[in-house]
Amino acid sequence: MSGAGGGKRPSGGDSPPGPPEKKSKKEEKTTTTLIEPIRIAGVSSTEEMDMKVLQFKNKKLCERLEQRQTMEDELREKIEKLEKRQATDDTTLLIVNRYWSQLDENVHVLRKRIEPDAPVTSTSAPPAPPLPEPTPLEEDDASLPPAPLSDNAKGFLSTLEHSSEEELTLHLQDRMQFSKEAIVCLVCVFDRLHTCEDESQSDNINVNNTLLEENTRLRDLATLLQGRHHKMSMEYNELVDKVTSSETKVSEMETTVEDLQWDIEKLRNREQKLNKHLSEAMEQLKSGYSSSGSSGGLPGGQITLNIQKFESLNAELEHNQELANSRMAELEKLQVELQEAVRESEKLKMDLRNIPEDVVKETLEYKCLQSQFSLLYNESLGVKTQLDEARALLLTAKNAHLRQIEHMESDELSLQKKLRTEVIQLEDTLAQVRKEYEMLRIEFEQNLAANEQAGPINREMRHLISSLQNHNLQLKGDVQRYKRKLRETQMEINKLRCQSGDTGVQIGEETTSESIDVKKEENEDQEEEEERRKELERQRARERERETDRERERERERERQRSDELKRKDSDTLKMLRVELKKAQESQKEMKLLLDMYKSAPKEQRDKVQLMAAERKSKAEVDELRMRVRELEERERKESKKLADEDALRKIRVAEETIEHLQKKLAATKQEEEALLSEMDVTGQAFEDMQEQNSRLLQQLREKDDANFKLMSERIKSNQIYKLLKEEKEELADQVLTFKTQVDAQLLVVQKLEEKEGILQSTLAALEKELAVRTQALELNKRKAVEAAQLAEDLKVQLEHTQAKLKEIQVSVAENRTARERESSNLKRAQAETEAGETEEGGGGDQPVQGQEKSVFF
């Protein structure tokens, strides 16, 4: 039952995953009272008790599974962080090593190019580096593909791991010395090259003169082109304005022509109608004449009416003919105006094609554009130089990036292989855990289904608890009665002692001491129970404090581990993580074993464990009672020696019998009280557990009711919305029908308008083509002007650059002249001294002179 009690204890995600033996000991200490609710809750049958035990087991297992999942997430995060750190550190180290080796190789190649025949003493070859570097790329091997650097990179990292700090510092100092010496040699070579620049000075002066002449010529050309461009732009703007005005006029005329055509069509329709009426009237007249000839006796009112209609129709016809003639005259005028506008537009187009250059140059816009163009050209030159520098940097960065990518790819392949193996292992473990989780979920669902059927059992438990409470109250009343009787008997015993005299006094003292002992024992029992409760609370508080201390220690250890892991290398961290993974797998296996134990543990073993615990308690109580009996017997022996009188002995025996009888009653009452108290505690705890379960179930029911109410309200709202949408749909259908009729009517109008638009679009396309041809010609002229200006600005910049170089060369020439004069004076003095000296001294003196020359040369 210790396992079941352990399931009752709240185990949070922060509890330390210690060994299972220590955990079981702590759980036995802290949760002895929490085992009993499981015993009494299933009063009706043993199956219900098993179901509740399984519920607690499932809770415990769920908590442990959550702990395991949190641990796995933390370990994965740590692995990802460490892998990222390892990748960044490796890349930085490899990049530094690669660029350093490239610098050494480039310096070596430059020295070979500059001084192929120079003697190489200390800086001939770099000291053999302890770290594996990429193979040097020479000029001959440039065409070959780059060698795979994965093995070199691995070797470099392994040497870094295994070598100490002193060895690394020594190797780095050697490399630094080599690079310093090589750079010193290069500086000396560049100094020599600087001295050789005097010879190319005259050539630079001639080139400078030619560049100045070309610059002046290009400036004149640029000014001419800028003036022409300005004139062209001015004329082009004027012609564009004229074209736009003519186009607006043409569009207005076209609209008027369309209106007139519409009116003409109306008049024609009206004329046709009138012609029809006329023909009908003529036919009626003819029929009227024929009828009048046949019947002469009828009145002639009809004939007069027909004549009046005929006259009115004739008048209307004449009026319509006059209107048609006037409209035709207006149309002819508009056609004439249209032809004139077309001629003007053609003239303007011709003017646009050939604009004079002087007009363009004299405009303010041309001058503003010229100044802006010069500024922009200067800026473009600066941007060009920056672009060239950026391109060079980009090329170097690209090469470095490609090499870095190769290294990264090789590292990634190795890391991916490792990660795949680890991921496969983790997936296997995950699959096992998922299977276990599914099994537990199925058991949990079964337990939930069983708990839903436990409603009547809860009611029976409530009735039982209420009956037990009443029984407890009755027992308390009985206990109080027994206490009163005890007091009365003690009072009687005291009276008997007073009567017995001195002997009685002694016996009274003993009885009072015994009564005091009895009271003390009662108080001690109560105090022991209170102390037990306090100890349990203290133990719980201590365990909480220990858990908090352990959490703090864990946090400290984690911080230390992080600092250590930052200092250590990534290989050690990976090993540690693998060890932790193995530990987690072992803990998982232990959890499985515990699960199997919990599942396989029968009810009889639990009962045996409870009986063993009860036997231990009873044995401890029996030992205590035996010790007390021995003490009392020793006291009685001492008293029997002292007391010799028979009366006193009789009274003592009577008193002892009464005391024994009372003690037996007391022990019985104590046992009953203890049993009742334990039952009360058990029933109270069971009642609290049942109340908690009931409150949870009530909360779930309330949540379900709330969800159902929400769903009902949403359904009502959706029904209302559906009705509204139906009504809107019907209204929209009516509107659609009306719109369809309108659209059909408008489509006819649109077809007519589309035909007109087609005609207009054809004319517009022709005009747009002409405009495109003209704009292309203008853009070509603009480009030519821009190119000429750019050439002029380029030549300006080159001239300034050459002038600055000339000044620098002149300064260096003057310095070289002074240095040569000093050297010549020194040489003359040395020659005079050598001629004045002896032949041997002269031979010895040549050597230092040669050394001086060498030093000057370097």
- 364-452 helix and 570-600 helix, angle to the nearest 10 degrees: 30
Q: Which residues lie closer than 8 Å to 214 by C-beta, 6 or more apart? A: 795
Euclidean distance between CA atoms 174 and 123, whole angstroms: 11
| Residue 852 to residue 445: CA distance in whole angstroms | 101
Which among 80, 81, 7 is positioned nearest to 38, based on CA atoms? 7
Which residue carries 């908690």 as its tokens? 692
Nearest to 100 by CA among 369, 349, 330, 400: 400
d(CA 364, CA 230): 9
Q: How far is CA 292 from CA 76, 300, 306, 488, in A?
A: 121, 8, 13, 162
Q: What integer pLDDT is reported at residue 75 of this predicted model? A: 92
d(CA 575, CA 418): 12
Q: Do 399 and 106 contact (CB within 8 A), yes or no?
A: no
139 in Cβ contact with 80 (< 8 Å): no
Q: Is 589 exposed, middle or buried (0-12, 13-18, 19+ CB in 10 A)?
A: exposed
Q: What values do phi and psi take at 118, rounded to 5?
A: -75, 140
Per-residue pLDDT of 296-312, as tens digits, reads 444 444 445 567 777 78
Which residues of the chain register pLDDT less than 50?
1-38, 40, 119-149, 291-303, 504-505, 507-508, 511, 514, 518, 598, 840-858
Is residue 658 within 8 Å of 489, Cβ to Cβ?
A: yes
DSSP secondary structure letters along 14-80: TS----HHHHHHHHHHH-SGGGHHHHHH--S-HHHHHHHHHHHHHHHHHHHHHHHHHHHHHHHHHHH
CA distances from 329 to 264, 325, 500 (A): 12, 6, 166
Q: Which long-range contacts (CB under 8 A, 24 or more apart) does 214-223 make?
A: 214/795, 215/792, 215/795, 215/796, 215/799, 218/788, 218/791, 218/792, 218/795, 219/792, 221/788, 221/792, 222/788, 222/789, 222/791, 222/792
The alpha carbon dihedral of 203, 207, 210, 212 has a sign of negative
Buried b (16+ CB within 10 A) or exposed e, 148-163: ebeebbeebbebbeee
pLDDT at position 595 is 56
Render pLDDT for 79-119 as a digit per residue (tens, 0 to 9): 999 888 888 887 888 888 888 888 888 888 887 777 765 54
Beta-strand (E) ranges in 681-720? Answer: none
What distance in Å separates the CA atoms of residue 436 and residue 444, rounded to the nearest whole number? Answer: 12
Cβ atoms of 208 and 167 within 8 Å: the answer is no
The 3-state DSSP class for residue 649 equals helix
The DSSP code sequence of 260-277 is: HHHHHHHHHHHHHHHHHH
Q: Give which of 28, 48, 30 is closest to 40, Cα–Cα.
A: 48
Pairwise CA distance, residues 190 & 63, whole Å = 76
Amino acid identity of residue 419, one-letter, is L
Find where tokens 């750190």 sit. 85
Q: What whole-number distance in Å separates Cα of residue 266 and Cα of residue 255? A: 17
Q: Give the CA distances from residue 798 to residues 205, 375, 538, in Å, rounded to whole numbers and listed in that order.
A: 13, 17, 93
For the domain 211-288+305-362, what is the CATH code?
1.10.287
258/253 Cα distance (integer angstroms): 9
Which two structure tokens, joined as six digits, stand for 630? 């021995």
What pLDDT does 845 receive?
46
Whole-angstrom distance, CA of residue 615 vs CA of residue 622: 10
* Extended strands (E) in 772-829: none
Domain coordinates of the chain in residue numbers? Answer: 211-288+305-362
Nearest to 451 by CA among 683, 688, 699, 696: 696
Q: Which residues have CB under 8 Å from 90's CB, separation 6+?
A: 153, 157, 411
Question: What percent of the chain lies above the pLDDT cut of 70?
Answer: 70
Taking the alpha carbons at both ends of the chain, their separation in whole angstroms is 95
CA separation for the pair 583, 577 (Å, rounded) = 10
Tokens of 63: 């908590």
For residue 417, CA distances in Å to 350, 403, 414, 421, 580 come to 77, 22, 5, 6, 20
